Amino acid sequence: MDIGLNDNIELINGLTRLTFNLEPNASIIIDPNVLNHMDGRLILEPTVFSKGGISAGLKRSIAGESIINEQITNKTNDKLKISLSSQLLGVINKLEILPNQIWRFTPSSFIACTSNILVSGNIDIFSNFKAYLAGQNILYTEVSTIDGKPGKIWISSHGILEKHEIEMGMNTQKLLINDGAFLGMLSEDMGKKINYWDRFVSVRSANGFFKGLLTKKSFLMNIEDKKRNAENNTKCIIYTQSLNIRNLQNYVQSITQSNNTGFSFFGGSNYNKLQKYESKLINL
């Protein structure tokens, strides 16, 4: 389904950019917040993924994505260019989504996908509560194919992106993920009848609960086959990111609170200082 897209991920001055050179009749679906620029001859139309129904758009919106995405189509006879970038500073990566697979990703990581991908939301807070205890999200963006054929999705991380293939089964491996560092994973393979999220995701401490209290590592996301079942001999695919989005949110919130109260240990609100300097400049 990615024929005619001619996608390219470029690293420019340490930042990642995603470009498409759409061939005639080719189209791509993107998040409305990631477009840098595009050829003016391209056709842009809003879409809520009609094959998935309005419920997919609503779930996507509840999980933190846009309820309406954009489909860009080339209806000319020339190759036309689109330039996209991620919402946060990080890495862009392309993944293949196979039929019967369901993937989940943290909100705001979705950039673009082929037209046979359904982007919805996983809002099962009861199933996701274990991840929430470990400092991860309680709602996720969920993607799958809708036509029985492989599709492509482009996602972005906050910071460095890393892929992990963790052995499950008798010789299970373990992966501990710190709060906010989980990016996404293959959550279910309906063809193999394996629900990776339910079977292999749990919560544990790094080295004992009370020791973890001192280092803020009492609750970590744990990927492991605790039953060590020979029938589970498979690999669990996980993606992590190197930066914690919650740290950024807390930092921005602290600045906002300081500006609203006008109080700071270092001389008052930055906003108030800016107003004072602007008034002095006007009176010069």
- What is the CATH number for 177? 3.60.160.10
Q: Has residue 265 been placed in a domain?
A: no
Residue 250 located in a structural domain:
no
Average pLDDT for 211-238: 79
Could you give the number of structural domains in the chain? 1
In a domain, 256, yes or no: no
Cα(253)–Cα(130) distance, integer angstroms: 26
Cβ–Cβ < 8 Å for 156, 88: yes
* More confident call, 1 vs 233: 233
Asked if residue 274 is part of any domain, the answer here is no
Note whether residue 82 is domain-resident. yes
Q: Chain-wide mean pLDDT for the chain?
A: 85
Single out the residue of 193, 61, 64, 204 nearest to residue 131, CA to CA: 204
117-143: average pLDDT: 90
What residues contact 81, with CB distance under 8 A and at least 6 apart?
19, 20, 21, 22, 38, 39
Q: Which two tokens stand for residue 248?
A: 């950024």
Is position 146 within any domain? yes
Helix (H, G, I), strand (E, B) or coil at 282: helix
Measure the CA–CA gap between 142 and 181, rounded to whole angstroms: 18
Domain annotation covers residue 78: yes
State pLDDT tens for residues 28-81: 999 999 999 999 999 999 886 545 567 777 888 788 788 888 999 999 999 999
In a domain, 46, yes or no: yes
**Tokens in use for 208?**
């004992």
Q: In which band, very low, low, confident or very high, does the pLDDT at 215 lie, cut at 50, 70 and 90? A: low
CB atoms within 10 A of CB 276: 11
Domain span including residue 95 = 7-243
What is the pTM assigned to this prediction? 0.82
Name residue 182's beta-bridge partners: 240
Residue scoring higher pLDDT (219 or 197) = 197
